[in-house]
Amino acid sequence: MRNFKKISLYFLLFLLITNSYADDKNKVFAVENSVVKIHTTFVTPDYLSPWQLSNPLQSSGSGTVISGNRILTNAHVVADAKYIQVQKHNDPNKYIAQVSFISHYADLAILTVKDKSFFKDLTALAIGVLPEPQQDVTVYGYPFGGETLSITQGVLSRVEQQFYSHANSYLLAGQIDAAINPGNSGGPVVVNNKIVGVVMQAISAGVASNVGYFIPPSIIQHVLHDSKDGKYDGFPELGFRTQPLENPSAKAAYGLTKKQNGVLIVKVFENSASMGKLKKNDVILKIDQYDIANNGTVNFSKNLRSHYDHAIELHYIGDKINVTYVRDGKVSTTTLIAQKNENHYSLVGQQKYDNIPEYYIYGGIVFIPLTRNILNSWGIPQVNAGTFRFLNYSREWPSVNKQQSVIALQVLAADVNFGYHEINSWVVDFINGKPIKNFLQFCRLLKNNQEKYMVFENKQGYQIILDHKKAMNSEKDILKLYRIPAIHSVGLFDKK
């Protein structure tokens, strides 16, 4: 009888272990079954010849099925896409997909599939919570070099604000040591069968080994919330810039006690949420309930300290944000309304995707606004050689009277522009003596000009002078000679 009880006990234990193992296998299978491969055919604009497109190219990435028959992936996986297909694990078939919502700023996109049968037997993964440092994580995806699902493991190393390379945005990111390669982009970082991150970028080999970054749950949830009405709002901006206030003398000079900590406002932008409420030389002590350290960081949890920007990006457009500050030694609190982050407050326009480049051709001279797209098109060698000066514009702050920089990109050689054929990447600051506010104002001045000569001038006083009548009469011949479809980009004058 005793032996029978022993055998029964062992058998029960065996069943428990077997069932537990089977449950684990089922859970792993469910995760594998939710990760898809994304095939993208994309066409990027040619910013050096803004009236035409580059050649079509193919790339691939990864994505995860989430609730509502949706696929979560990176924005850069489907940026400038003309044709998208998705493929299930262990399925040779490809299904047509479309982008239903995209946030280039957060490098996230949501896809839908036309054929709803695609989602049959697929498991939608839930969004989990940010893991603790040193916690094990699993990365799923389809890196280059193979057709089947790849699974790698690593450890969460740290969490802090990082620059997202896709749009040069500055948001919270997690760092892991799992192997991440091209094609992994958009794949899930998983803990306990929940998505705790979306793989977005890795540090190049030779710079660091096995250092990759993922988009954390707070950013994912923000984008999912933003997508509910189908209208992109993005992350908020309060419209000020600060510097650390670590020096004791600097703290004392701005009225802080030894126990008070914060950051010094060095700029408040016109027409921003902070205009009229905060001033230059105010010291910000708190954003909502988060105390700001002298180095600009705040504690979000026991194990998470990051830049105070994260306290702002947790909000949605239109939210109220309380800011506690010191002015002339007096502590005050004001409430700001979170506004859209439209232009990064820089004279260099932010990186754009799924967009037609703006241009205007006058007298054979191609004029464009200065953007990160054109800086990237030039590439590092050329920037170092001849256009390095434009990088300084990204550090210059705009004003009401100066919102964009305009450059003469190149000259399409013709009789009307003789003598200027060698000019390229030339900044234009004035047109017929009038300062340039932005590209649209510049183009309207060109289009509506009534003066005999058109004078383009930079800050150094150098000029390009064209006969207006000859410039207008040369338009058709120049377009025909260089096979250009239109004198300016489509929809240029549709803006308000």
Please tell me whether residues 367 and 487 are part of one structural domain: yes
Please tell me whether residues 209 and 245 are part of one structural domain: no
Please tell me whether residues 427 and 398 are part of one structural domain: yes
Token pair listed for 112:
């839908």
pLDDT of residue 26: 46
pLDDT of residue 17: 47
The amino acid at 284? I
Please tell me whether residues 373 and 490 are part of one structural domain: yes
Please tell me whether residues 192 and 241 are part of one structural domain: no
Please tell me whether residues 215 and 245 are part of one structural domain: no
Please tell me whether residues 426 and 442 are part of one structural domain: yes
Instruction: Give the whole-angstrom CA distance, residue 284 versus residue 281.
Output: 9
As beta bridge partners, residue 174 has 159, 214
205, 229, 253 — which closes off a domain? Answer: 229
CATH (domain of 96): 2.40.10.10
Closest CA to 249 of 292, 294, 290: 294
Closest CA to 495 of 448, 425, 439: 439
Please tell me whether residues 427 and 475 are part of one structural domain: yes
63, 92, 119 — which closes off a domain? Answer: 119
Beta strands in 13-77 (DSSP E): 35-42, 57-66, 70-73
| Domain that includes residue 98, residue range | 33-119
CATH (domain of 276): 2.30.42.10
Please tell me whether residues 425 and 470 are part of one structural domain: yes
Please tell me whether residues 197 and 93 are part of one structural domain: no
Specify the number of domains making up the chain: 4
The answer as to whether 9 is a domain residue is no
The answer as to whether 346 is a domain residue is no
The answer as to whether 22 is a domain residue is no
The answer as to whether 264 is a domain residue is yes
How does DSSP classify residue 227?
A: G
Q: Cα-atom radius of gyration of the chain, to the nearest Å?
A: 27
- Which phi and psi (to 5°) does residue 202 adopt? -135, 155
480-491: pLDDT as tens digits: 999 999 999 999
pLDDT of residue 496: 63
- Just list the catalytic residues: 76, 107, 185
The answer as to whether 198 is a domain residue is yes
Please tell me whether residues 200 and 240 are part of one structural domain: no
pLDDT of residue 2: 52
Instruction: Give the whole-angstrom CA distance, residue 354 versus residue 43.
Output: 9
69, 90, 119 — which closes off a domain? Answer: 119
Please tell me whether residues 389 and 424 are part of one structural domain: yes
- 350 three-class SS: coil
Report residues of the chain scoring pLDDT below 50. Answer: 14-26, 381-386
413-429: pLDDT as tens digits: 999 999 999 999 899 99
Strand arrangement, sheet containing 360-362: 360-362, 365-369, 406-411, 426-428
Whole-model pTM: value is 0.89
